[in-house]
Amino acid sequence: MTLHPYSMIEGISWPAIPPPRSAGLLAMQYQLGQSQWLPTAELERQQLDQAAKLLRHALATAPHYREKYGTLALPDKLDWNTWRNLPLLERSEIQDCPEQIKSTRVPPSHGNIRLYGSSGSTGRPIKVLGTDMTHFFWLSLTLRDHVWQQRELTKKLAVIRSKITSGTSAGWGEWSDSIISGPSSALNIRTGVDAQLDWLMAENPEYLLTHPTNLHALLRRAAERGVHPANLRETRTFGEMLPVDLRELARQVWGVKLTDMYSAEEVGYIALQCPETEHYHVQSENLLVEILNGRGEPCQPGETGEVVVTTLHNFAMPLIRYRILDHAEVGEPCRCGRTLPVLRRIVGRQRNMVSLPNGRSHWPSFPSTDWLAIAPIRQFQIIQHDMQTIEIKIVCPLPLTAQEEAGIRTLLAEKLGYPFDFRFSYHNRIEPGPNGKFEDFISLTPDSRSRN
C-alpha cells in the first residue's frame, strides 16, 4: 500500500513534496515500519529508555508523582525491576487529584494542550490532558492500521458512532488534510437500526466503522431484510469488547472480514489487529502495556490479567502504570514475524464479570445464535443486581412465551454457572451507556463497583 501525500509545491504533484505535517506522518510510518520487526530485547530497551525520560519529567514537574514515589532514585539505565516496583496509578487518583498529576512545565516543542475525556462505563468521568504530540501519535497509528490492512484510502468510508454529527466529508479524517483519501459519511449511532441500514445501503461504502454491538444489530437486521451493501469490503469495530460470534456473522451475512481495534479515549490506541491473524499487536512505540496477574507479575502466554498502561509521550499529564480496568489474554509470538507483543483477546472489565455466591467470578459469553435458537430476540442486556438476582432486558417483537423464558433461564444458568433468580423486563430499545458504548453484561455487585 502506498500513502499519497498532498504536495505543497504548485504544479508538482508527483513525486509529491509534502507540507511539514505530512512529511512528519510519512517519516513516522517509515520508523514504525522498521520498529515492528525489532528484536524483542531491543524493543523493550527502547521502551524503557523512553519511559525513563517520561519518569524523570513526571518527578520533576508533577506533584503527584513526587509525593507518590518519594525519594525514588533512578538508575542510569532504567531496568524492569525498578519499573515493576513502581506503584500503580488508580483511575480514582486521576478523578480526585487531576491538578496534581498535570505537569507544571510541558515542553514547548510538544505543542498545544489538548483535553481528552472518558465518561467511563461506570459513569465516573475522567479528564486527561494531552498535547499536539500525543495527537500526532494517534494520527500515525491510525495510518499504521490502514497500512497494515491494505485499505484503499481513495474509496468511501461510512462511520456510525457516538459523539459525531451526521454529515459528509471530503476525507476520512483529520489526517486526510495531509494524505489523499476518498469521501466519508457519518451517522450518529442513536439513529434507529432500520434507519441506519437504509442509510448504509444508500451510501454504499467500501468500508464501515462502528461499535461491535451496533454492527451486530445491523447484521441481524440485514439478514432479516436480505440486504447487502454491494461495495462493502470490510467492517471495522472499536470501543467495546468484541462478541465471540461477530466475525463469523459478518462473513455469513455480508461476506466481509471484520477488523477490530483496542483503544481507550484517555490513552489512544492500545492494540491493533494483526493484518494476518485475528489477534492484536500492542502499539509498543507509543505505550508500555503490561498484563499483570493477581500478584502483580507479568502474565505468560495463555494467561489472562489486568491491563496496565503507560503513555510514553504524554508529557502534559503523565499516566504511569495506569490501571485501565480492562483484562486481556496474552498470546504467543505472532507467526507474522512482528515482535510487537500479542494480545489474544480482550476479555473486558471487572464489572463485566459475573460474581457467583461461592466467591468465584468469570467473564460470561453470549453468542447470539444461542439466543436466536430460542426466540427472535433483537437486543438483550443482562444486569446482575446482587448475588442472587439477574435482570434480563429483552427487545423482541412479542413478549416471550413461558416456554421461551424457561429456555432463556436454562441457557443463562449454564452460561453464568449458577441458577440465579432470573427476572425479565421488556423494552422497545436498550440505549447504550453515556459514552455511546453498549455492555451486554453488567454486574452491580459491591465487588464490581469497588474495582471501577
What dotted CATH number matches 353-450?
A: 3.30.300
pLDDT in tens, 126-155: 789 999 999 999 999 999 999 999 999 999
pLDDT of residue 452: 45
| CA distance linking residue 90 with residue 96, whole number of Å | 10
306-338 tens-digit pLDDT: 999 999 999 999 999 999 989 999 999 999 999
Q: Are the C-beta atoms of residues 422 and 408 closer than 8 Å to each other?
A: yes
Q: How many CB atoms lie within 10 A of CB 92?
A: 12
Dump pLDDT digits (tens) for 361-419: 777 777 767 887 898 888 888 999 999 999 999 988 888 999 999 999 999 998 888 99
Task: Indicate the domain borders of the chain.
Answer: 353-450
* Alpha-carbon gap, residue 406 to 404, rounded angstroms: 5
Upper half-sphere CA count for residue 285 (Cβ side, 13 Å):
20
Q: What is the mean pLDDT of residues 34-47?
A: 98
Mean pLDDT score across all residues of the chain: 90
Query: For position 327, what pLDDT does the model report?
Result: 92
Residue 240: name the closest of 147, 323, 156, 348 by CA: 348
pLDDT-derived band of residue 450, with 50, 70 and 90 as boundaries? very low
The mean pLDDT of 172-176, rounded to a whole number, is 87
pTM given for the model: 0.84
Nine-digit cell string for 111: 505543542
User: Going by C-beta distance under 8 Å and a sequence separation of 6 or more, which residues neighbour residue 345?
Assistant: 242, 279, 280, 328, 329
> And the C-alpha cell for 269?
490506541
Pairing of strands 268-273, 280-282: antiparallel
pLDDT score of 425: 92
Q: Yes or no: say if 340 and 43 are a contact pair by the CB < 8 Å rule.
A: yes
90-131 pLDDT, tens digit each: 988 998 889 999 999 999 999 999 998 765 544 456 789 999
